[in-house]
A and B are shown apart, each in its own frame.
Chain A
Amino acid sequence: MNLFRNVVFIAAIAGLVAGVVLACMQAFATDPLILQAEVYEKAGAGHQHDHAAAPAENAAGTSAASSTAPAANTMSMAPAAATAPEHEDEGWEPADGFERHAYSAVFNVATGIGFALILVAVSEFAGGIGNWRQGVFWGLAGFAVFTLAPGLGLQPELPAMPAADLLPRQIWWTATAAATAIGLALIAFRRSLPLVILAVALIIAPHIVGAPQPESFETPIPEGLHHQFVVAVTVTNLVFWLVLGAVVGVVRGRFTGTATSLRDSFA
Protein backbone atom coordinates (compact mmCIF):
# COMPACT_ATOMS: atom_id res chain seq x y z
CA MET A 1 0.00 0.00 0.00
CA ASN A 2 2.94 2.31 -0.54
CA LEU A 3 1.28 4.05 -3.43
CA PHE A 4 -1.92 4.60 -1.44
CA ARG A 5 0.09 6.00 1.45
CA ASN A 6 1.96 8.37 -0.85
CA VAL A 7 -1.24 9.57 -2.48
CA VAL A 8 -2.78 10.26 0.91
CA PHE A 9 0.36 12.04 2.07
CA ILE A 10 0.48 14.36 -0.95
CA ALA A 11 -3.26 14.98 -0.80
CA ALA A 12 -3.09 15.81 2.90
CA ILE A 13 -0.41 18.45 2.39
CA ALA A 14 -2.02 19.97 -0.68
CA GLY A 15 -5.48 19.85 0.88
CA LEU A 16 -4.23 21.51 4.05
CA VAL A 17 -2.55 24.36 2.17
CA ALA A 18 -5.42 24.94 -0.26
CA GLY A 19 -7.97 24.55 2.54
CA VAL A 20 -6.32 27.21 4.67
CA VAL A 21 -6.14 29.54 1.66
CA LEU A 22 -9.81 28.83 0.99
CA ALA A 23 -10.77 29.51 4.60
CA CYS A 24 -9.02 32.89 4.49
CA MET A 25 -10.68 33.83 1.22
CA GLN A 26 -14.10 32.78 2.45
CA ALA A 27 -13.73 34.71 5.68
CA PHE A 28 -13.30 37.89 3.66
CA ALA A 29 -15.25 37.25 0.47
CA THR A 30 -18.21 34.96 1.02
CA ASP A 31 -18.93 34.72 4.74
CA PRO A 32 -19.87 38.40 5.13
CA LEU A 33 -22.38 37.99 2.30
CA ILE A 34 -23.85 34.91 3.99
CA LEU A 35 -24.22 36.87 7.23
CA GLN A 36 -25.93 39.69 5.35
CA ALA A 37 -28.30 37.22 3.77
CA GLU A 38 -29.13 35.78 7.18
CA VAL A 39 -30.36 39.19 8.24
CA TYR A 40 -32.93 39.01 5.44
CA GLU A 41 -33.62 35.39 6.32
CA LYS A 42 -34.42 36.23 9.92
CA ALA A 43 -36.43 39.31 8.97
CA GLY A 44 -38.52 37.21 6.61
CA ALA A 45 -41.39 35.03 7.72
CA GLY A 46 -40.43 32.93 10.73
CA HIS A 47 -37.23 31.22 9.75
CA GLN A 48 -37.99 29.20 6.74
CA HIS A 49 -35.18 28.30 4.44
CA ASP A 50 -37.37 27.23 1.66
CA HIS A 51 -40.11 29.68 2.23
CA ALA A 52 -41.03 30.73 -1.26
CA ALA A 53 -43.79 28.43 -2.32
CA ALA A 54 -44.33 26.49 0.84
CA PRO A 55 -47.96 27.14 1.59
CA ALA A 56 -48.84 27.79 -1.99
CA GLU A 57 -50.05 25.28 -4.46
CA ASN A 58 -48.98 21.77 -3.90
CA ALA A 59 -50.52 20.90 -7.18
CA ALA A 60 -47.49 19.62 -8.95
CA GLY A 61 -46.44 20.79 -12.34
CA THR A 62 -49.13 23.38 -12.79
CA SER A 63 -48.69 25.82 -15.59
CA ALA A 64 -47.65 28.45 -13.10
CA ALA A 65 -44.81 26.34 -11.92
CA SER A 66 -43.52 25.54 -15.34
CA SER A 67 -43.62 29.14 -16.42
CA THR A 68 -41.48 30.26 -13.52
CA ALA A 69 -38.96 27.53 -14.06
CA PRO A 70 -37.73 27.77 -17.60
CA ALA A 71 -35.30 24.92 -17.32
CA ALA A 72 -38.10 22.87 -15.87
CA ASN A 73 -36.60 19.79 -14.50
CA THR A 74 -37.52 16.41 -15.72
CA MET A 75 -36.65 14.73 -12.49
CA SER A 76 -39.52 13.00 -10.86
CA MET A 77 -39.19 14.23 -7.32
CA ALA A 78 -39.86 17.84 -8.17
CA PRO A 79 -43.45 18.08 -6.93
CA ALA A 80 -42.42 17.50 -3.35
CA ALA A 81 -40.03 20.37 -3.70
CA ALA A 82 -41.28 23.25 -1.70
CA THR A 83 -43.30 21.43 0.88
CA ALA A 84 -40.93 20.39 3.60
CA PRO A 85 -37.52 21.90 4.16
CA GLU A 86 -35.19 19.26 5.58
CA HIS A 87 -34.45 20.88 8.83
CA GLU A 88 -36.97 23.26 10.25
CA ASP A 89 -35.82 22.00 13.59
CA GLU A 90 -32.23 23.04 13.29
CA GLY A 91 -30.53 21.25 16.14
CA TRP A 92 -27.06 22.13 17.28
CA GLU A 93 -25.14 24.82 15.45
CA PRO A 94 -21.89 26.60 16.19
CA ALA A 95 -22.12 29.97 17.92
CA ASP A 96 -21.54 32.99 15.71
CA GLY A 97 -18.08 34.45 15.70
CA PHE A 98 -14.98 32.46 16.41
CA GLU A 99 -16.64 29.07 16.81
CA ARG A 100 -18.43 29.39 13.51
CA HIS A 101 -15.28 30.46 11.68
CA ALA A 102 -13.32 27.65 13.32
CA TYR A 103 -15.77 25.02 12.12
CA SER A 104 -15.77 26.56 8.67
CA ALA A 105 -11.99 26.38 8.57
CA VAL A 106 -12.00 22.72 9.63
CA PHE A 107 -14.54 21.93 6.95
CA ASN A 108 -12.53 23.86 4.39
CA VAL A 109 -9.44 21.80 5.12
CA ALA A 110 -11.48 18.61 4.97
CA THR A 111 -12.94 19.73 1.63
CA GLY A 112 -9.44 20.48 0.42
CA ILE A 113 -8.13 17.06 1.41
CA GLY A 114 -11.14 15.31 -0.10
CA PHE A 115 -10.79 17.06 -3.45
CA ALA A 116 -7.01 16.62 -3.30
CA LEU A 117 -7.40 12.84 -2.88
CA ILE A 118 -9.64 12.70 -5.93
CA LEU A 119 -7.33 14.99 -7.91
CA VAL A 120 -4.14 13.08 -7.06
CA ALA A 121 -5.67 9.65 -7.62
CA VAL A 122 -7.22 10.57 -10.95
CA SER A 123 -4.12 12.39 -12.19
CA GLU A 124 -1.93 9.39 -11.30
CA PHE A 125 -3.96 7.34 -13.75
CA ALA A 126 -2.92 9.85 -16.39
CA GLY A 127 0.72 9.81 -15.41
CA GLY A 128 0.71 12.14 -12.46
CA ILE A 129 1.07 15.88 -11.99
CA GLY A 130 4.72 16.52 -12.70
CA ASN A 131 5.16 20.12 -11.63
CA TRP A 132 3.27 23.17 -10.51
CA ARG A 133 2.41 24.29 -14.05
CA GLN A 134 0.77 20.99 -14.88
CA GLY A 135 -0.93 21.30 -11.52
CA VAL A 136 -2.45 24.61 -12.55
CA PHE A 137 -4.02 22.98 -15.58
CA TRP A 138 -5.31 20.09 -13.49
CA GLY A 139 -6.67 22.70 -11.11
CA LEU A 140 -8.50 24.41 -13.94
CA ALA A 141 -10.05 21.08 -14.84
CA GLY A 142 -11.12 20.55 -11.23
CA PHE A 143 -12.64 24.03 -11.19
CA ALA A 144 -14.58 23.29 -14.36
CA VAL A 145 -15.80 19.94 -13.05
CA PHE A 146 -16.72 20.86 -9.48
CA THR A 147 -17.58 24.56 -9.66
CA LEU A 148 -18.37 25.77 -13.17
CA ALA A 149 -20.46 22.91 -14.51
CA PRO A 150 -22.65 22.31 -11.43
CA GLY A 151 -22.83 26.07 -10.85
CA LEU A 152 -24.38 26.69 -14.25
CA GLY A 153 -27.51 24.78 -13.33
CA LEU A 154 -27.42 25.28 -9.58
CA GLN A 155 -26.13 28.75 -8.90
CA PRO A 156 -24.38 29.29 -5.60
CA GLU A 157 -27.21 30.14 -3.26
CA LEU A 158 -27.48 32.28 -0.18
CA PRO A 159 -29.56 31.43 2.88
CA ALA A 160 -33.25 32.30 2.39
CA MET A 161 -33.08 31.59 -1.31
CA PRO A 162 -35.66 29.20 -2.70
CA ALA A 163 -34.44 25.90 -4.05
CA ALA A 164 -35.84 22.60 -5.13
CA ASP A 165 -35.75 19.58 -2.85
CA LEU A 166 -32.27 18.82 -1.56
CA LEU A 167 -31.76 15.25 -2.71
CA PRO A 168 -32.56 15.76 -6.42
CA ARG A 169 -30.20 18.73 -6.44
CA GLN A 170 -27.44 16.69 -4.87
CA ILE A 171 -27.99 13.94 -7.41
CA TRP A 172 -27.91 16.43 -10.28
CA TRP A 173 -24.80 18.09 -8.89
CA THR A 174 -22.96 14.78 -8.57
CA ALA A 175 -24.04 13.50 -11.96
CA THR A 176 -23.05 16.78 -13.62
CA ALA A 177 -19.60 16.74 -12.04
CA ALA A 178 -19.09 13.11 -13.09
CA ALA A 179 -20.26 13.68 -16.67
CA THR A 180 -18.10 16.79 -17.01
CA ALA A 181 -15.07 14.96 -15.62
CA ILE A 182 -15.45 12.07 -18.04
CA GLY A 183 -16.02 14.51 -20.89
CA LEU A 184 -12.90 16.52 -20.11
CA ALA A 185 -10.83 13.35 -19.72
CA LEU A 186 -11.99 12.12 -23.13
CA ILE A 187 -11.06 15.45 -24.71
CA ALA A 188 -7.67 15.57 -23.01
CA PHE A 189 -6.53 11.98 -23.37
CA ARG A 190 -8.25 10.53 -26.43
CA ARG A 191 -7.41 11.58 -29.90
CA SER A 192 -10.37 10.37 -31.90
CA LEU A 193 -13.03 12.73 -33.15
CA PRO A 194 -16.04 10.54 -32.29
CA LEU A 195 -14.86 10.34 -28.70
CA VAL A 196 -14.49 14.11 -28.53
CA ILE A 197 -18.00 14.49 -29.89
CA LEU A 198 -19.19 12.04 -27.24
CA ALA A 199 -17.31 14.12 -24.67
CA VAL A 200 -19.08 17.30 -25.69
CA ALA A 201 -22.39 15.47 -25.54
CA LEU A 202 -21.57 14.27 -22.03
CA ILE A 203 -20.67 17.75 -20.90
CA ILE A 204 -23.84 19.40 -22.18
CA ALA A 205 -26.24 16.56 -21.37
CA PRO A 206 -26.84 17.54 -17.71
CA HIS A 207 -27.77 21.04 -18.80
CA ILE A 208 -30.26 19.75 -21.35
CA VAL A 209 -31.81 17.59 -18.64
CA GLY A 210 -31.77 20.69 -16.46
CA ALA A 211 -31.12 21.12 -12.77
CA PRO A 212 -34.00 20.82 -10.31
CA GLN A 213 -35.42 24.31 -9.93
CA PRO A 214 -37.65 25.77 -7.21
CA GLU A 215 -41.30 26.36 -8.03
CA SER A 216 -40.90 30.03 -7.35
CA PHE A 217 -37.85 32.24 -7.37
CA GLU A 218 -39.32 34.72 -4.94
CA THR A 219 -36.81 35.70 -2.30
CA PRO A 220 -36.13 38.53 0.13
CA ILE A 221 -32.47 38.48 -0.93
CA PRO A 222 -31.62 41.46 -3.15
CA GLU A 223 -30.47 40.52 -6.63
CA GLY A 224 -27.27 42.54 -6.20
CA LEU A 225 -26.27 40.66 -3.06
CA HIS A 226 -26.80 37.33 -4.75
CA HIS A 227 -24.83 38.36 -7.80
CA GLN A 228 -21.96 39.47 -5.60
CA PHE A 229 -22.08 36.09 -3.89
CA VAL A 230 -22.02 34.14 -7.14
CA VAL A 231 -18.94 36.06 -8.26
CA ALA A 232 -17.24 35.64 -4.88
CA VAL A 233 -17.90 31.89 -4.78
CA THR A 234 -16.71 31.35 -8.33
CA VAL A 235 -13.52 33.36 -7.91
CA THR A 236 -12.60 31.86 -4.52
CA ASN A 237 -13.15 28.37 -5.89
CA LEU A 238 -10.98 29.15 -8.90
CA VAL A 239 -8.10 30.24 -6.67
CA PHE A 240 -8.65 27.22 -4.41
CA TRP A 241 -8.35 24.81 -7.33
CA LEU A 242 -5.32 26.53 -8.83
CA VAL A 243 -3.55 26.42 -5.47
CA LEU A 244 -4.56 22.81 -4.92
CA GLY A 245 -3.26 21.68 -8.30
CA ALA A 246 -0.06 23.67 -8.05
CA VAL A 247 0.76 22.41 -4.55
CA VAL A 248 0.13 18.82 -5.62
CA GLY A 249 2.59 19.37 -8.46
CA VAL A 250 5.24 20.81 -6.16
CA VAL A 251 4.85 18.25 -3.38
CA ARG A 252 4.71 15.32 -5.75
CA GLY A 253 7.88 16.50 -7.48
CA ARG A 254 9.78 16.74 -4.19
CA PHE A 255 8.30 13.54 -2.93
CA THR A 256 9.16 11.23 -5.76
CA GLY A 257 12.53 12.80 -6.29
CA THR A 258 12.97 11.07 -9.59
CA ALA A 259 10.85 11.68 -12.62
CA THR A 260 8.87 8.50 -12.83
CA SER A 261 6.69 9.04 -15.81
CA LEU A 262 6.69 10.58 -19.22
CA ARG A 263 4.67 13.51 -18.04
CA ASP A 264 7.24 14.53 -15.48
CA SER A 265 9.11 17.33 -17.07
CA PHE A 266 11.18 19.11 -14.50
CA ALA A 267 12.17 21.86 -16.83
Chain B
Amino acid sequence: MTTASVSLGASVSSQSRFMQLALAALLGTFIIGFVGFSHIDAVHNAGHDNRHSMAFPCH
Protein backbone atom coordinates (compact mmCIF):
# COMPACT_ATOMS: atom_id res chain seq x y z
CA MET B 1 0.00 0.00 0.00
CA THR B 2 2.27 2.71 -1.21
CA THR B 3 0.16 5.76 -1.64
CA ALA B 4 3.05 8.05 -0.90
CA SER B 5 3.56 10.79 -3.42
CA VAL B 6 5.74 13.81 -3.82
CA SER B 7 3.85 16.99 -3.29
CA LEU B 8 5.44 20.41 -3.19
CA GLY B 9 8.81 18.82 -2.70
CA ALA B 10 7.67 16.75 0.26
CA SER B 11 6.97 13.05 0.18
CA VAL B 12 3.70 12.33 1.92
CA SER B 13 1.01 9.71 2.11
CA SER B 14 -2.26 10.75 0.57
CA GLN B 15 -4.01 10.88 3.92
CA SER B 16 -1.34 13.00 5.50
CA ARG B 17 -1.32 15.17 2.39
CA PHE B 18 -5.04 15.79 2.75
CA MET B 19 -4.71 16.61 6.42
CA GLN B 20 -1.85 19.03 5.92
CA LEU B 21 -3.52 20.87 3.05
CA ALA B 22 -6.79 21.03 4.96
CA LEU B 23 -4.93 22.40 7.96
CA ALA B 24 -3.32 25.10 5.81
CA ALA B 25 -6.69 26.08 4.34
CA LEU B 26 -8.17 26.16 7.84
CA LEU B 27 -5.39 28.44 9.04
CA GLY B 28 -6.06 30.77 6.10
CA THR B 29 -9.77 30.80 6.84
CA PHE B 30 -9.03 31.59 10.47
CA ILE B 31 -6.81 34.53 9.51
CA ILE B 32 -9.43 35.95 7.13
CA GLY B 33 -12.07 35.43 9.80
CA PHE B 34 -10.05 37.38 12.32
CA VAL B 35 -9.02 40.17 9.97
CA GLY B 36 -12.27 40.64 8.13
CA PHE B 37 -15.08 39.21 10.23
CA SER B 38 -14.15 39.61 13.88
CA HIS B 39 -16.72 41.47 15.96
CA ILE B 40 -14.13 42.76 18.42
CA ASP B 41 -14.28 46.57 18.25
CA ALA B 42 -10.54 47.17 18.38
CA VAL B 43 -9.92 44.67 15.59
CA HIS B 44 -12.70 46.22 13.54
CA ASN B 45 -11.37 49.73 14.00
CA ALA B 46 -7.78 48.81 13.26
CA GLY B 47 -8.74 47.03 10.06
CA HIS B 48 -11.56 49.42 9.20
CA ASP B 49 -10.25 50.76 5.89
CA ASN B 50 -9.05 47.34 4.86
CA ARG B 51 -12.46 45.82 5.52
CA HIS B 52 -14.25 48.47 3.49
CA SER B 53 -11.73 48.18 0.70
CA MET B 54 -11.98 44.40 0.58
CA ALA B 55 -15.77 44.69 0.56
CA PHE B 56 -16.06 42.55 3.67
CA PRO B 57 -19.37 43.14 5.42
CA CYS B 58 -18.67 45.97 7.82
CA HIS B 59 -20.49 47.99 10.51
Contact = CB atoms under 8 A, between A and B. Distances in A.
Interface of A: 1-8, 10-11, 26, 30-31, 34, 49-50, 85-87, 89-94, 100, 103-104, 106-108, 110-111, 113-122, 124-125, 128, 147, 150-151, 154-159, 163, 166, 169-170, 173-174, 232-233, 236-237, 252, 255-258, 260-261
Contact of A117 (B28, B35, B46): B28
Interface of B: 6-12, 16-17, 20-25, 27-32, 34-37, 39, 41-42, 44-59
8 contacts: A2-B10, A4-B21, A7-B24, A92-B41, A107-B35, A124-B21, A155-B55, A232-B53
Main secondary structure of the interface of B (DSSP, over half): helix
Given A4-B23, A26-B50, A121-B25, A86 B39 contact: yes
Contacts of B9: 2, 6, 255-258, 260
Contacts of B56: 173
A2 B12 contact: yes
A154 B49 contact: no
B59 A31 contact: no
Interface residues of A: mostly helix, strand, loop or mixed?
Answer: helix
Among A107, A124, A155, A257, which residue has the most Cβ atoms of chain B within 10 A? A107
B55 A237 contact: yes
B6 A260 contact: yes
Given A92-B45, A104-B50, A116-B28, A170 B55 contact: no
A151 B55 contact: yes
